[in-house]
Amino acid sequence: MELSALVGRVARTTGLRLGALALSSVTMILAARWLGPQGRGEVAAINSWFFLLCAFGSLSLGQAAVHRAANTRGRAWIAETLGGLLAAAAALTALGWLLSALSSLLPSGGPLAGLGLVPCLLGAAMLPLLLVDQYLSALLPAADILPSYNRALLVSRAVGLSAAALAIVVLHLGIGGALAAALAAQLVLVGLSLHALHQRREGPLRAQWSSLRPLLEAGLRLHIGTLGLSWVTTINILLLQRFHGPTQTGFFSLANDLSSVPLLLAQAVSAELVARVGSDGADAALASGRKLLPWLCAVSLVAIAVGQLIVPQLVPLLLGNDYAGAGAPLNLLLWSLLLQVPIAVMSPQWVSRGLFVAGSLAMLAATLLNALLALWWIPAQGAFGAALASLTAQVLLAVINLALLIRLTVGRSTAA
């Protein structure tokens, strides 16, 4: 695949995801204004618990499937892989629900204490969909049908916006309505993605231990490395809820969501590089990513500069003065855009090359650094301390990914 063709695919992916992002942003603003910082913080606390269960419980089986696809090009792999992953999702969901029930028996009431039975049940219903979506978001690019996932994402975000407007604004269902709307959107995303992948299968779905076992073995080796920064954010949200309650949690959650908006381009590049790994191999994806990296960094710097100028006016304009406390964390987290570029470009390389232990150690180091700094800064500085801890962890990960890029580039030059 020529670089121009890759750029065209990235542009199409970015366009579809921009549409999905616009719909998500309207939904986020709608929920934030109607729920207020405290309501948004409660939603974030519930979501974070089940996102954490999904992150840990997924066992990185989707990424392990990408590794399988990269090493089985030209051979059938979709049917048996999808069947095994769906069976694993069912078992892992049951385990996650059991852990959630047991956590309520803790003296403190667990991470969901005081958040209401119905909202917690809606969060629990999201868990199997989160697990399956995590697998499908890796499988569809590896099967070279990423556009199907992007279209499903766009449709699901439209459903989420419509459902949120109905549940929150018209029916006044509060945080339960917000969670129900998110559940409806996730159900549409998983359903459409499953349909697209099911059409590409080479035979009937089958869940065989012989095909699932290699995925489990690979997934467990790379699990910590592929959890990504999502569980860093989740840890910070849970700590904020513990030390400061829902309002500061709402500030950080909002700042984190808004700062992720400019990451769309880097995420689109990463998804297309995963697709190229599946079709052309890791070396071809590395060469393309290396050429795109300077341009992505330049775009990131422009976006950061613009963001720093407009954020102080943007937050109160869109969300009201109640969210003024989210401005400082958001300004800080905008710098993560530049750090995410090398992480996004290099993330397919860790999996496709089987660098499971090294990737896990890198992510473990970043997570431990974030946890230590969060425990130090969050009690004193609240949402700003959480943002500072998260950004510091991302600096470490960006440096590690740049070091991998240099190592692989020098290695290829020496071999040539």
Interval 342-372: pLDDT, tens: 887 787 777 667 676 777 788 888 888 988 9
Which tops the pLDDT comparison, 294 or 184?
184
Q: For 104-108, 200-204, 412-416, which range has the lowest pLDDT when averaged over its residues? A: 412-416
Find the mean pLDDT for residues 230-251. 81
183 pLDDT higher than 70: yes
Residue 170 one-letter amino acid: V
Give the Cβ contact number of residue 317 at 10 Å: 10
> Which sign does the torsion angle of CA 173, 178, 179, 180 carry?
positive
CA distance 101 to 311: 40
Containing 321, the helix (H) or strand (E) segment is: none
Share of the chain above pLDDT 90, in %: 17
CA distance 113 to 243: 14
pLDDT at 189: 93
Residue of 167, 169, 333 whose CA lies nearest to 257:
333
pLDDT at 23: 85
Q: pTM for the whole thing?
A: 0.66
Q: For 174-183, 319-328, 353-362, which range has the lowest pLDDT when averaged over its residues? A: 353-362
Interval 100-150: pLDDT, tens: 888 888 777 777 877 888 989 999 999 999 999 888 887 777 666 777 888
- Tell me phi and psi for residue 59, to 5 degrees: 60, 20
- The DSSP symbol for 65 reads H
